[in-house]
Amino acid sequence: MTSTHTNSHTEAAKMEQVITEFFYKSLLIILESRSSYVSSRNYSGEQIVSSPSSSSSSSSSVRPRDKWFNLALRECPSALENLDLCPQSNFEPVVVDVILEQKPLDWGPASFSPTSDIVRNLSSKNKNSYFWNSDQDESGSEMKCEKIIERWFVHHESRKGRDFNSGNRRSSCNNLSALYKKLILMLRSLYVTVRLLPAYNIFRDLNSSGLIRSFKLVPRVSSFVEPLTRKEEVDMQRFWFTPVDTSCGRLCLSVLYYSSISDMSSESSTPMSPQFIPDYVGSPLADPLRRFPSLPVSHGSPSSLPFSRRHSWSYDHYKASPPLVSFSPSPTHSESNALVSNPSSRGLPPMSLPPHPPEAPLAHKRDTNFDEQNLPPSPPLKITRAGTSRTDNIRVPAETDATIEKIFSFGKEDCWKYSGVKAFSNSSPRISCSRSSSRSLQDDFDYSEFPCPFDVEDGEMMDPGSRPESYVRRGNPSDPNEAGLFMNRKSPDAAVGALVRMLEKAPPLRQNVSLNFSEASRPEILSNSVPKQSQISEAVTVEHAAAPNIASFRLVASKTTTDALEELRGYKVMKNLLLSEGGKAYTSSNVASAAEHSSTSKGT
Amino acid sequence: MNCEVCQLKELEVEHFEIREVLRCILHTIVFHRALGLVRPKDVDLELFEITYVQCGDVELEKKIDEKIDHFISWVEKHPNKKSQICLSFYEVKSKQPSWFTNKTERLYWEQWYINLNVTQHPKHHSSKSHHTKLVVDPGESATEERSSRRAMVEASLREVLFQIIKFVNEKKDHVPPISEGVIYFPYEITIPSSSDSAFGMDMIKRMLHSGHPTMLS
C-alpha cells in the first residue's frame, strides 16, 4: 500500500514534470521563431548524427533540457530561462501575444538592438505573469503602434474527479510513455506550424535581411490578457492542435492568427507615415498675408525683384530649416511653380547661393550661377523662404552688401537691377517686397499690373541715362497733379504704408549712393503719418528730395546701361500693375483733391 | 495495428517545381515521424515563401534527393501524366521463413500518397534551351499569369502542409513506440515505375511483405 502510494506520487510527479516541460518547450518553440536575434534559425552548428553508435557523442553536445521531447533547439532565450514555470498542481494558462510593433519616426539606430527583459509583475496575484518587452519600448515610444497578429494559448485543462492514483503502476507507466510520445508529436507539428504562419515571414525578414525596418515583432507572454475585440476575433483564424489527454486532464494548444499580415503592417504603419505639414510656422497657409503671387514668367528681373528681395532675408531665416518644411502643398506652391519653372524668370535665388563680391563680373555669370549654386530642385523651397514675416522683410535692408549681392547675383541682366536698385535708393526693392508682403493674395499675385512709382514706359527706358529724368518727368514736380494722379492710381493705401515703413527702417544699400537720397528723404518719411492722402503727398516729397541726387545717380547709372534698361523694364511692369489697381479704386474726385492740396502747399 | 493512409491533395506543378515541392512535403512528413533526438533544420524554399523543416539527418536527405531524381526522370519520360509518390512507414517484424516470404516482414502502419499533376507550359519544353526561351518571354500578361500561378501553387502547397499537420495531430495512437537510439522510423518511398503494370507489381510486393492488404482510401 505504501509502495503503491509512493509509486503513484512518483508517477504524479513525473506527470507534472512532463507537463511543465511541455509548457516550457512549447513556449520556447513559439518565442524562438517570433523573437528577433534568438532563433534556432541562425544556428549553423553541428547536426545530430543519426547512427545509434554515435548517439552518445551527439547527446553530449545536447543540453539536458534539449533532450526533452527529443527536440534540441539552438538557444534558449535568457528570459525564458528565468521563467518561473514551477511544477504546480494547477497549471495556469500561458498566452503568448505576438505583436507587430511599428516604431516611431524618431527612432534612431541605437534602438535597433532590442534587448529583451522580463518584467515580473509581482504585484499581480499570479506570480507567473510576466511581460516580455524591449528597452526601447519603455523609453517612451508613445507614438508606437502595436497590433497583435498572433495569440497562442497553452493550457492544461484539469479534469475534476479523476483519481490519478487509480490503476496499477504498469498502466500508469504506459500512460506516461504514451503521453510522452503524443507530446513529442504535438511539439513536432507545433514546430512546423509556427513556420507556416504569416508572422514567420516577418520574423525571417527581420532576422535575415539586416535592413533597418520600421517595425519589429515583440512576443509578450502572460497569464492574463485582455480579450481580443469582436472584430479581431472575426478577422483572425484559429488553429487547434488536437489536445492530448493526461492523467488529470488534457493539454491544449491553439493559435489565433491573421491569415494576411501585409494588411496589418500597413495599418500599423499608418500613424507613423510621413505627412506633409501644410501649416507649418511661417507657411503661406499659416498667414495668408504672406502669400506670394505667381509672378508672370515673361518678365524677368523686375517681377522677380520682390521675390529676390524677399529671399534675401528669407534665405538667412531658413538657412537651417529642415527640408520637410519645404514640401508644403500650399496654394502658392503652384503659383510659384509658374515662376520658377520658367528659366527666364531667374528671380528666385537658390538656397545655397554663395555670397558674391560686389565687383564680381555678374554680367557674365548669369547661367553659371545657377549651375554652380545648386538650385533647389523643388519650388517649395522658394515658397518657404518667401513666407516669412514682415519683420524679416523689413530686416532685409539691414543685411550686408554681401547678402544683397547674393540675391542679385543672377548674371548680366540682373546685375543692373541690383546696381540700379542701389542707385535709386533702398526704396525700390523694399517697396516691392513690402508691398507684396502686405498685400493680399489677390492683389499681389499679378505683378504685371503692379505699377512701380519709379517705373517708366519702355520708350523712356531706351536712354537709361535719362531714366531719372523720365521718372521725374513722369512724376513731374512741375506737374504735381500728374504726379499725384500717378500716385493715386497705385495700389491701395496699405501698400503705400508698407512702403513708407520700409523706407523708414531700411538702411541704405550703399553709403555713397543712399546717403544723398535715403538719408535726405528719411526724415520726411519718418515725420509723415500714414493716412493715404498724406502718404501720397509725402511720396511726392520724397521725389523732390531725390531730385538733387539724380546727378549722382547718373554717374552710377551710366556705368551699366544695359542693366539700367532691364531695371526700367521691370519698373514698368510694376507701374502697370499699380495703375491697373489704383485706377479702379480712385475716382477723379480724389485726383482733384490731391491736386488742390499740392497747389496749396506750393503756394505756402 | 491498422495502417493509416493519408491521401494528400493533388498539386499541379511544373517540371522545375517538382524538386522543391517534393522535398518540402517529404521532409515535413519524415520530420513528424523522426521521433528520436533531432536538431531541426529550417529550409527556405526558393520558389515559394515557405519554410519547411528537416530533421537534420544527412543520410536521410541524400536518400530523399535520390528518389526525387528518379521521379523527375520518370516524369520526363511520361510527360503530362498524373503521378503518385507513396511514402510508407513500417515496422520490421521477424517471421517464420517460408517459400514465399522472407524472414522479416514489414508492417506498414502508415502511408502517405503525394499526388502530383506535372503540367507543362504550352511553350515550355523539357530541354534547357526552350526553358531559356520561356524565361525571356516578354509581356506583362505572361509575367502576371506566371506570378498568379505561382501564388496558387504556393497556396496549394501550404494547404498540403497543413493537411499533414492535421493528420499527425488527429491520429497518434497507431504510431509505434519510440525505440532507443532510433531517430526516425523505417520508411520507404515508392515512385511510379516505367510502366503501370510494374507499379502494380510494387503494390503486390508490398502486400506480400506486409501480410495484409493495403487500404486505399
Q: Mean pLDDT across the stretch A381-389?
A: 39
A207 part of contact set with chain B, CB < 8 Å? no
Most trustworthy range by pLDDT among A292-296, A375-379, A582-586, B158-162: B158-162
pLDDT at B78 > cutoff 60: yes
pLDDT (0 to 100) of residue A29? 93
Q: What is the ipTM metric for this complex?
A: 0.84
Lowest mean per-residue pLDDT among A236-240, A537-541, A558-562: A537-541
Q: How far apart are CA A337 and CA A295, in angstroms?
A: 9
DSSP state letters, A388-400: --HHHHHHGGGS-
B40 and A71 within 8 Å at the Cβ level: the answer is yes
Angstroms from A207 CA to nearest CA on chain B: 13
Question: In chain A, what are the helix, strand and coil shares in percent, each to the nearest 5?
Answer: 55, 10, 35
For residues A358 and A505, the model is more confident at A505
3-state DSSP assignment of residue A139:
coil
Q: Could you tell me the sign of the dihedral formed by the alpha carbons of B5, B11, B14, B19, in that order?
A: negative
Residues of B in contact with A185 (CB under 8 A): 32, 35, 168-169, 172, 175
CA angle (B30, B32, B36) in 5-degree steps: 90
Quickly list DSSP for B153-185.
HHHHHHHHHHHHHHHHHH--TTSPPPPTT--S-
Q: Output the pLDDT for position A112.
A: 43
What pLDDT is stored for residue A359 in this prediction?
45
Grid cell, residue A546, equals 531725390
Q: What is the pLDDT of residue A358?
A: 46
Rg of chain B taking only CA atoms, in angstroms: 19
User: For residue A67, what pLDDT is reported?
Assistant: 84
Percent of chain A at pLDDT above 70? 32
CA–CA gap between residue A375 and residue A369 (Å, rounded): 9
Q: How far apart are CA B206 and CA B217, in angstroms?
A: 17
Tens of pLDDT, residue by residue over A551-560, are 555 555 556 7
> Could you report the per-residue pLDDT of A415-438, keeping only the tens digit for each?
444 344 344 444 444 434 344 444
CATH code assigned to A1-36+64-104+144-157+172-262 = 3.30.900.10
- Give me the pLDDT at residue A192, please: 96
Mean pLDDT value of segment B84-95: 89
Better-scored residue on pLDDT, B162 or B99: B162
Q: Mean pLDDT lowest for which of A14-28, A529-543, A575-589?
A: A529-543
Look at the block and give the residue holding cell 520526363: B76
What is the per-residue pLDDT for A83?
Answer: 55
pLDDT score for A234: 84
Helix axes A532-546, A493-505, angle to 10 degrees: 50
**How far B38 CA sits from the closest chain A CA (Å)?**
5
Q: For A136-150, how does the pLDDT look when each residue is reduced to its tens digit (9 = 90+)?
A: 444 554 566 888 899
With beta carbons less than 8 A apart as the criterion, state whether A351 and A300 touch: no
Residue in the structure block whose three cell numbers are 523708414: A504
pLDDT for residue A81:
58
Q: Is the dihedral of CA B190, B194, B200, B204 positive or negative?
A: negative
| Banded model confidence at residue A285, pLDDT cuts 50, 70, 90 | low
Question: What pLDDT score does A286 carry?
Answer: 60
CATH number of the domain to which B96 belongs? 3.30.900
Which range in A56-70, A514-528, B74-88 is most confidently predicted, on average pLDDT?
B74-88
Average pLDDT over residues A292-312: 47
**Best A55, A194, A195 residue to mutate vs chain B (most B CBs within 10 Å):** A195
CA gap B67, B22 in Å, rounded? 10
- Mean pLDDT over B48-77 rounds to 93
Residue pointed to by grid coordinates 550686408:
A400
pLDDT of residue A102: 81
Q: Global pTM?
A: 0.53
What is the pLDDT at residue B83? 92
**pLDDT (0 to 100) of residue A475:** 43
pLDDT at B138: 60
Verify whether the Cβ–Cβ distance B183 to A48 is below 8 Å.
yes
| Domain count along chain B | 1
Least trusted range by pLDDT, from A116-120, B15-19, B48-52, B177-181? A116-120
List of chain A residues whose C-beta atoms are within 8 Å of the C-beta of residue B38: 48, 70-72
Task: Provide the shortest C-alpha distance from residue B156 to chain A (in Å).
Answer: 13
pLDDT of residue B5: 94
Q: What is the pLDDT of residues B168-178, one digit of tens each?
A: 999 999 999 88
Q: Give the model's pLDDT for residue A168.
A: 60
Residue A502: Cβ-neighbour burial (10 angstroms; 0-12, 13-18, 19+): buried
Q: How large a percentage of chain A has pLDDT more than 90?
A: 14
pLDDT at residue A512 is higher than 80: no
Query: Which has more confidence, A230 or B54?
Result: B54
CB contact under 8 A, B51 and A71: no
Residues of chain A found within 8 Å of residue B61, distances taken between Cβ atoms? none
- CA dist., res. A402 & res. A356, Å (int): 6
Top-confidence residue, A580 or A466 = A580
Measured between beta carbons, the chain A residues lying within 8 angstroms of B56 are 47-48
What is the residue-averaged pLDDT of chain A? 61
pLDDT at A442 over 50: no
Q: What is the pLDDT of residue A142?
A: 53
Predicted confidence at residue A590, as pLDDT, reads: 61
Q: What is the pLDDT of residue A347?
A: 45
Residue with cell 501553387: B153
pLDDT of residue A2: 62
DSSP annotation of B16: G
Query: What per-residue confidence (pLDDT) applies to A224?
Result: 79
Task: Give mean pLDDT, residues A42-49.
Answer: 44
Rounded-to-integer distance, Cα B111 and Cα A313, Å: 84
How confident is residue B86, by pLDDT bands cut at 50, 70 and 90?
Answer: very high
pLDDT tier at A64, thresholds 50, 70, 90:
confident
B128 is in which domain, residue-wise?
A: 4-215
pLDDT above 80 for B157 = yes
Sort out which chain B residues have CB atoms less than 8 A from A59's CB and list them: 37
Q: What is the pLDDT of residue B44?
A: 94
Under an 8 A CB cutoff, do B169 and A186 touch? yes
**Residues contacting residue A298 through CB under 8 Å, at least 6 positions apart:** A342, A344
**Average pLDDT of span A36-52:** 48
Helix (H) or strand (E) holding B189: strand B187-190
Looking at per-residue confidence, does A448 or A280 come out higher? A280
Q: Specify the range with the lowest mean pLDDT, choosing from A80-84, A383-387, A462-466, B194-198.
A: A383-387
pLDDT grade for A510, boundaries at 50, 70 and 90? low
pLDDT at A412 over 50: no
Which residues of chain A lie closer than 8 angstroms to B181, CB-CB? 52, 55
Flag the least confident range among A245-259, A451-465, B4-18, B44-58. A451-465
Lowest mean pLDDT among A302-316, B7-21, B31-45: A302-316
Looking at residue B170, its pLDDT comes to: 94
Shortest distance, CA A241 to any CA of chain B (angstroms): 6
Of A97 and A548, more confident: A97
Taking an 8 Å cut-off on Cβ atoms, the answer to whether A72 and B31 are in contact is no
pLDDT at A159: 77
Contact yes or no for A70 and B37 at CB 8 A: yes
Looking at the complex, report in whole angstroms how far the Cα of residue B63 sits from the nearest Cα belonging to chain A.
14
A175 or A470, higher pLDDT: A175
- Could you tell me which residue, B112 or A367, shows the higher pLDDT? B112
Q: Pick B38's closest partner by Cβ from A72, A74, A182.
A: A72
The answer to whether A216 and A133 are in contact (CB under 8 A) is: no
Closest CA of chain B from A160, distance in Å? 24
Cα separation of the two ends of chain B: 17
Q: pLDDT tens for residues A116-172?
A: 333 333 333 444 433 334 444 445 545 668 888 999 999 998 877 554 445 566 666
Q: DSSP labels for A434-503? A: HHHHHS-HHHHT-GGG---TT---HHHHTSGGGHHHHHHHHT-TT-HHHHHHHHHHSS-HHHHHHHHHHH
Residues A65-94, mean pLDDT to the nearest whole number: 69
